[in-house]
Structure 1
Amino acid sequence: MEGDLEAAMTATTAGVLRETSPGERRVALVPDLVPAVARLGGTVLVERGAGALAGHHDADYRTAGAVPAGRAELLGRSNVLLGIHPPNVDPDRDLHPGQVLAALLRPQRIPYLVRKWAERGVTAIGLDLAPRLSAAYAVDADASQARVAGYRAVLLAAVRLDRCLPPWGTAGGLFTPVRVLVIGAGPAGLQAIDTARRLGALVGAVEWREPERAAAGALGADLLDLPGWRPVADGREPWAALDRERPAWVSGLAEAAVRYDVVVSALTRPGRTPPVLLRTETVARLRPGSVLVDLAAGPDGVTIEGVLPDTTTLVGDGVTVIGAAELAAQAPGTASRAYAHNVLALLERLARGGPLAMDPVLGPMLVTDRGAVRHGPTSRLLREATAVAGLP
């Protein structure tokens, strides 16, 4: 972003975009938080219809002090654009130098668009790239949306399962409680564990990262030790350690999974191909009527072999497999409110002024700034593509 950020933010006009991705029902800012943005000295424009699918209508925003606007007006007047996903706009025609764009950008999926933003002089901030710092908790939209997804995953499995989760009693005795296995104890996995436990299920958890493993145990999950398992101190990057021991732990995970009625795979790998955790032959061995939910099933890949994104299929002898990478969009009321608080925390941080790259929270979240691609993995992708094409 050219010039001093503090000067750019003294008269903020925040534009809330209407999402255009199929099935997306969330909105980046809810009416209740519009006054809080105004207290920062900002004006809020909302694209007409942006909040309708989340239960927030244009009249609600107008009452809160926001101004409904068409897309062209919003893009032209806003110096901060807020969305859930990267906006479907032409950077050369619709964006302008010095504009700030904040969303769940997943930049490694869209490297050429990222380069366009940089060339246009747009400062892009990924709300999915918050660093692992306590100070970054308030802006970590990836975590807030993952928690909603973990909750929804258990409810989705419960609806499709052929049994009820709690061990209800009858005159003839107690029903056997449902057994739920959660793979990965990040924000989505921890919420899945907590939800399944509250519904009365017996919960097992597979996790390699020491902090997340401790959190899963504190929620009452039975922690599984797989062959080849080694604790990983780095809470964000367990992949290298997992890959080294993959044959042993994949085999061990297969033997463990078949003892459960529900499996929620919540070990995601944003921007990169996730590891395949359960093979088709393992899925087919689960008890008929069992349910598996893959929260990683999306553009980056799947963790359960044979899963299709946004699709429910039957495998083997009646096992239901659900690919569900964007479950938060199915609870747009809660998800939008959580996301809006992340957005407000971002705007509060921007209002402090100063160079973004020097901010310990916002610096790692920069995708583009001052005419350059700042996100390391995306920058490497672009350099490799340029090298392969033989371009200077």
Structure 2
Amino acid sequence: MTATTVGVLRETVPGERRVALVPDLVPAVARLGVTVLVESGAGAPAGHHDAEFRAVGATVTGRAELLRRADVLLGIHPPNVDPARELRPGQVLAALLRPQRIPYLVRQWADRGVTAIGLDLAPDLPAAYPLDAGASQARVAGYRAVLLAAGHLDRCLPPWGTTDGLFDPVRVLVVGAGPAGLQAIDTARRLGAPVDAVEPRHRERAAAAALGARLSDLPGLGPVADEGEPGESLDRDRSAWSAALAEAVPRYDLVVTALALPGRPPPVLLRGATLARLRRGSVLVDLAAGPEGGNVEGVPPGTTTAGAGGGVTVIGAEDLAAQAPGTASRAYAHNVLALLDRLTRTGSSGADPVLGPMLVTDRGAVRHEPTALLLMAATAVAGLP
């Protein structure tokens, strides 16, 4: 990579408190031979003020100068800038891009000659783990999900007792043992709750068991074969999954759904009728909730429906990592450092087994295949050549 200057953008999404680089890691970035620019106020919501960045050698500047000087732009979300007027050919943009949500903006980046790298698109390779910001932020979200749910329960998670004996424990079910689900399992276990886990994938099942969760196999639905694709299994057996979970979830006091599959909308696993069967006072957190839907039918992201009169509380969680900006920003900054290290050594080559799958746009083309297919379909519908 010939770039010598990176720019850390201030986030403009409402409620976002994270920053892409923290002061403690600026010296490590500088050791790569990179100059660091920080947009004024970028770190303040996460508790890192401009003076802290200046103290470790970063230059604090306004947005216009940062966009003009930076070879690499770093953010949490896609920046709110006009590609045609505020970006330049050859500039690199790295963030949690979720490109299928913004296909037309992706097209503009490609047309402008911007190289866009999705830190949420790291491939499932050991060499890519240090760059996987999607996983690091999901772990923070899984932790926050359990604490959020605990705040709505009418009982305490740890076992409590009196001279007459122990109270009944809070029973926890986690559906999906990806990074968010595994962290939810670990957090609930550390708080003393017994945890059951539902997960169709073999490796994730092993990870859940290693954290102390009891694996719960739904009737008639065994794990996906090693050569199988969990998304295909869920598509084929969706009604069976819903029916089996409808029978299982009423046994629990706290349910966290976190089953997300790469390149697919979250599978709807729990229907509205099932929620009515949950225990009074129980809490359900849908960590998969987002613009494409979630694991729970009809639960909008960023909402909490409190159960009246001891009923069920349903939480559609979205970007819970932003609620722990200190930890989330530090974790994200380590992912950024790993990315910059790789870029300085290998450049942004599509042939790189790690960076290749993370390229959303490069050399004037949309490289992320699912987004490219969306754009092709939209063009065909419009009847454009």
Q: Same fold (TM over 0.5)?
A: yes
User: Are the aligned partners of 2:20 and 2:75 in contact in 1 as well (CA < 8 Å)?
Assistant: yes
CA distance in 1, matches of 2:82, 2:270: 40
* d(CA) in 2 for partners of 1:234, 1:78: 45
Q: Which residue of 2 aligns with 1:376?
A: 369
Take 1:236 and 1:197, find their aligned partners in 2: how far apart are those partners?
Answer: 30
Shift of 1:232: 2.3
Q: Give deviations 1:26-68, integer Å, cap 9, x for gaps.
A: 0000000000111111111001100101000000000011011
- CA gap of 1:233–1:144, structure 2 versus 1, over 3 A, is farther
Q: What 5-or-longer segments of structure 1 have no aligned partner?
A: 1-5
Give the Å deviation of 1:228. Answer: 3.6
Match of residue 236, structure 2, among 214, 220, 244: 244
Q: Distance in 2 between matches of 1:79 and 1:357?
A: 19
Change (3 A) 1:67 1:236: farther
User: Per the alignment, do residues 372 and 204 of structure 1 end up closer, same or farther by CA in structure 2, a change over 3 Å counting?
Assistant: same
1:172 aligns with 2:164: yes
Are 2:201 and 1:183 equivalent residues in the alignment? no
Equivalent residues of 1:227, 1:249 under 8 A apart: no
| Paired residue secondary structure (2:45) | helix
Q: Please state if 1:353 is matched with 2:346.
A: yes
Structure 2 counterpart of 1:343: 336
Query: Over residues 64-88 of structure 1, what are the superposed CA-to-partner deviations in whole Å (9 max), with x where a residue is unaligned?
Result: 1101110000000000000000000
Unaligned runs of 5+ in 2: none
After superposing the two structures, state which structure 1 stretch, 241-250 or 22-31, moved more.
241-250
Aligned equivalent of 2:22: 30
Partner of 2:115: 123
**Preserved contact between residue 106 and residue 271 of structure 1 (Cα < 8 Å):** no
Q: Please identify, of 227-236 and 374-383, the stretch whose mean Cα deviation from structure 2 is larger.
A: 227-236
**Which residue number in structure 2 is paired with residue 334 of structure 1?**
327
Alignment of 1:135-154 (within 5 A): 135-154=127-146
Alignment counterpart, residue 102 of structure 1, candidates 94, 100, 103: 94
Aligned to 1:125, the other structure's residue is in SS state strand
Identity, % of aligned positions: 77
SS where residue 306 of structure 1 aligns? coil
- Structure 2 distance, partners of 1:105, 1:356, is 18
Per the TM alignment, residue 235 of structure 1 is displaced from its structure 2 partner at its CA by 9.4
User: Structure 1 residues 235, 13: closer, same or farther in 2, change over 3 A?
Assistant: farther
> Structure 1 CA distance, aligned partners of 2:66 and 2:249?
50
Structure 1 residues 235 and 57, CA gap change in structure 2 (3 angstroms): farther
Are 1:192 and 2:184 matched, yes or no?
A: yes
State whether residues 284 and 315 of structure 1, in contact with CA within 8 Å, keep that contact through their aligned partners in structure 2.
no
Alpha-carbon deviation of 1:169?
Answer: 1.9
Partner of 1:352, secondary structure, is: helix
State the Cα distance separating 1:324 from its structure 2 match. Answer: 0.7
Distance in 1 (alpha carbons) for counterparts of 2:6 and 2:231: 38
Distance 1:157 1:179 in 2: 12
* Structure 2 counterpart of 1:371, one-letter code: G
Which has the larger displacement, 264-273 or 220-229? 264-273
Aligned partners of 2:210 and 2:305: how far apart in 1? 34
Closer/same/farther in 2, CA of residues 235 and 79 from structure 1, 3 Å limit: farther
Distance 2:307 2:271 in 1: 11
> For the Cα contact (< 8 Å) 1:270–1:300, is it kept in 2?
no
Distance between the aligned counterparts of 1:257 and 1:184, measured in 2? 14
Cα 1:375/1:107, change in 2 over 3 Å? same
Output the CA distance in 2 between the equivalents of 1:258 and 1:390. 50
Task: State the Cα distance separating 1:211 from its structure 2 match.
Answer: 0.2
Deviates more, 1:246-255 or 1:152-161: 246-255
Q: Which residue in 1 is equivalent to 2:258?
A: 266
Q: Distance in 2 between matches of 1:83 and 1:349?
A: 18
Q: Please say if residues 16 and 46 of structure 1, whose CA atoms lie closer than 8 Å, have aligned partners that are also in contact.
A: yes
Q: How does 1:1-392 map to 2 (within 5 A)?
A: 6=1, 8-9=2-3, 12-233=4-225, 237-269=229-261, 272-314=264-306, 318-354=311-347, 356-392=349-385
Aligned-partner Cα distance in 1 for 2:220–2:377: 34
Q: Distance in 2 between matches of 1:236 and 1:327?
A: 31
Amino acid corresponding to residue 250 of structure 1 in structure 2: S
TM-score normalised to structure 2 length: 0.97
Q: Distance in 2 between matches of 1:217 and 1:299?
A: 31
- Note the C-alpha offset of 1:357: 0.7
- Mapped partners of 2:263, 2:299: distance in 1: 18
Q: 1:233: Cα distance to partner?
A: 4.6
CA contact (8 A) 2:281 2:307 kept: no
**What is the one-letter code of the residue matched to 2:41?**
G
